[in-house]
Amino acid sequence: MTFFGTLASPVGVLGVESDGEAIRRVGWMRAPAAPPHDPLLVEALRQLEAYFAGALTVFDVPIAVPDRPESTHAVLRTLHETVGFGESVTYGELADRSGTDVPARAIGSIMGANPIPIIVPCHRVVASDGLGGFSGGAPGQGLATKRWLLEHEGVLPPALF
């Protein structure tokens, strides 16, 4: 069974999907949905709300990344487990840290296909010479969303205007 809920956040409405055992997807939506009835989903939404309020720095809900190669799982697992709140890592550093043979350029594709953004913090992966890309956020707001998340975590100073 699949459960679904939403949360209005400073970076848009987030939709969260659970199978009752693990969070399987987080993505941006246009409108809120009905209240969730799955306890795990309720907890994930509570944790996301606390994160945006500045009261949570570590998510501890179970997650599952479906239908991806083992190297993708390894990269996302390494990101989730080793790059904490207030930290960032370059695409190349994450490639090295993951212990896979995934080249740095391919890390960006893996981040772009991350089905559980924010909880698996792909926004913390940056280019060696700048922010890099970000496919999350409302349409056309990817880099603004990434910048907001990194400012929220203290990785970047707040924008002056």
> Mind telling me the catalytic residues?
122
One-character DSSP codes across 65-117: --S--HHHHHHHHHHHHHS-TT--EEHHHHHHHHTS---HHHHHHHHHT-SSB
One-character DSSP codes across 17-34: EE-SSSEEEEEEESS--P
* Cα separation, 114 vs 47, whole angstroms: 19
